[in-house]
A and B are shown apart, each in its own frame.
Chain A
């Protein structure tokens, strides 16, 4: 496609137009996916509580998220008189921007990746680390009690679980020997006999579990949604927000949840590879496998949200600092030692 546009419009401008189209082909379906995943979340949650969930707008309530979006769009944007106006409006922009940009390096198929950079995983880590700025700026700029406390809690929580996520990623990098996400997926091909995925490896499976739980904590999903515990903090750092600026936090949050599901799939369960290394399965396009895996992980997220009671803050911090961190640290030593002996022949 890039060549065709470059032939039509000249080298530089042709590249610009085709890249812009590719970006919109990621960003717009992503926003659509977020709208549908919010619907799916509500339906799954309702089904587990033996309710019907949204079922009025459109067939089976499928258009519910769009109706909500339109309603919220037409609402008044209220900026509290004591708020720092610039920062107040900047916070949702940062949150949503960061939820979008990490998708630039996610591989959707053998050749379907926007930017196949050699430090893809580091880029994702950097982009997801920036998410904390949106939260803390929102809490500070609101100049209101509940958003402020919520922002402090959220920042401490995200930062705590980022540490264990960092060590989990190191075990994956040790095994894959590359930061490139396509390279990581390639290393997972028939990793354990005929199974595609690091998660099938008994040495890496505990890391997959820690990553899944840390992903829930990092995105402040239930049971770790202390940042918006209604009984204590009203609506958390979003309390003072209204209209689309409020919706952007929602979209960003679900965008991050989808990103974490995609990372779970990519780093531990083979990404766009089929789960079993068997030729007929490769007939199905990689993007279908990836989407199926993302949805399975999203179902797990919803399932946990519907069934597990909320943690207390001290329990949350204990799990992150006293259980996951030492365990992941130990596991880095074990995995690297195992690789030194088996792959790099340290004892030979």
Chain B
């Protein structure tokens, strides 16, 4: 196996251990409550929480479109960050040309950011 990939094996193992630990934490109390007698479900207990009265409507209702806007803006800026990571680590190798190219790219994205701001996509009052 390539030595590079071998460095990730402990992480894979860690993921397995972490999953097993969390799954045990969820499953064990469910088993334990069967034995201690605390497991007594009934209809009112299993109803969803709604301040003491039955829920009026489906909880998965319409919500504000601005949450979608935030998600879209996040994708744009996170992709931008993803472009910047390899550039940042190799700045010495790519020199002034690479730096200038990225600054032009950043300036263009700033234009888009200003547009989103002016359009009111960032307003939450």
Residues of A within 8 A of B (CB): 16, 19-20, 22-24, 26-27, 72-83, 89, 92-94, 96-97, 100-101, 104-105, 114-118, 122-123, 140, 142-146, 148-149, 152, 155-156, 159-160, 162-163, 166-167, 170, 173-174, 177-179, 234, 239-240, 243-245, 247-248, 313-314, 317-318, 321-322, 325-326, 329, 332-333, 336-337, 339-340, 343-344, 346
Q: Are B89 and A179 in contact (CB under 8 A)?
A: yes
Most A-side CB within 10 Å, residue of B38, B40, B71, B89: B89
Which 4 pairs of residues, A with B, have the shortest CB-CB distance? A166-B81, A314-B124, A144-B48, A100-B18
Whether A244 lies near B11 (C-beta < 8 A) is: no
Do residues A159 and B125 form an inter-chain contact, with CB atoms below 8 A? no
Which residue on A lies nearest to B7, using beta carbons?
A: A117
B89 touching A77, Cβ below 8 Å: no
Q: How far is the CB of B23 from chain A (nearest CB, A)?
A: 6
- Nearest B residue to A312 by beta-carbon distance? B124
- 9 A-B residue pairs with CB within 8 Å: A27-B14, A79-B46, A94-B22, A100-B14, A170-B84, A244-B25, A314-B123, A336-B102, A340-B91
CB neighbours (8 Å) of A159 from chain B are: 70-71, 74
Q: Which residues of B contact A19 (CB under 8 A)?
A: 9-10, 13
CB neighbours of B91 from chain A (8 A): 174, 177, 336, 339-340, 344
Distance to closest chain A CB from B45 (angstroms): 6
Quote the shortest CB–CB distance from A25 to chain B (angstroms). Answer: 11
Asked if A245 and B11 make an inter-chain contact with CB atoms under 8 angstroms apart, the answer reads no
Q: Are B124 and A318 in contact (CB under 8 A)?
A: yes
Contact between B88 and A336 (Cβ–Cβ < 8 Å)?
yes
| Bound-complex Cα distance A162 to B80 (A) | 12
**Residue pair A340, B15 in contact (C-beta under 8 Å):** no
Q: Number of B interface residues at 8 Å Cβ cutoff, please give it.
A: 66
Chain B contacts for A177, CB-based, 8 A: 89, 91-92
- Contact between A82 and B48 (Cβ–Cβ < 8 Å)? yes
* Known pairs A104-B10, A170-B85, A343-B92; A162 contacts B29 (CB<8 A): no
**Inter-chain contacts of B29 with A (CB < 8 A):** 72-75, 77, 243-245
The listed residue (B22, B40, B78, B84) touching A332 by CB distance below 8 A is B84
- Within 8 Å CB of B30, what residues of A? 77, 243
Name the CB-closest residue of B to A95: B22
A179, B47: Cα distance in complex, Å: 48
Known pairs A96-B22, A160-B70; A116 contacts B7 (CB<8 A): yes
How many angstroms between the C-alpha atoms of A3 and B123 in the bound complex?
59
Pair B122/A322 contact, Cβ less than 8 Å: yes
Q: Are B63 and A152 in contact (CB under 8 A)?
A: yes
A89 to chain B: which residues have CB within 8 Å?
26
B53 interface hit (Cβ, 8 Å): no
Instruction: Establish whether residues A23 and B17, one from each chain, have CB atoms under 8 Å apart when the complex forms.
Output: yes
In the complex the two chains form, what is the Cα distance from A196 to B56 in whole Å? Answer: 59
Whether the Cβ atoms of B17 and A333 lie closer than 8 Å is no
Are B81 and A97 in touch, CB under 8 angstroms?
no
A residues less than 8 Å from B15 (CB atoms): 97, 101
**Of the residues B89, B110, B123, contact of A329 by C-beta under 8 Å:** B110
Contact A115 B7 (CB under 8 A): yes
- Min CB gap B56→A, angstroms: 9
Whether the Cβ atoms of A148 and B10 lie closer than 8 Å is no
Q: Determine which of B38, B50, B70, B95 lies in contact with A156 in the assembled complex, contact meaning CB atoms within 8 Å.
A: B70
B46 touches A239 (CB 8 A): no
Return chain B residues, CB-CB under 8 Å to A118.
4, 7
Question: Please, which residue of chain B has its CB at the minimum distance from the CB of A339?
Answer: B91
A27 and B17 contact, Cβ closer than 8 Å, known pairs A234-B49, A240-B49, A314-B124:
yes
Cβ-neighbour of B26 out of A115, A245, A333 (below 8 A): A245
Q: Are B41 and A78 in contact (CB under 8 A)?
A: yes
Given A23-B10, A234-B49, A340-B96: A178 and B41 interface contact (C-beta under 8 Å): no
Which among B7, B81, B110 has the greatest number of chain A C-beta atoms within 10 A? Answer: B81
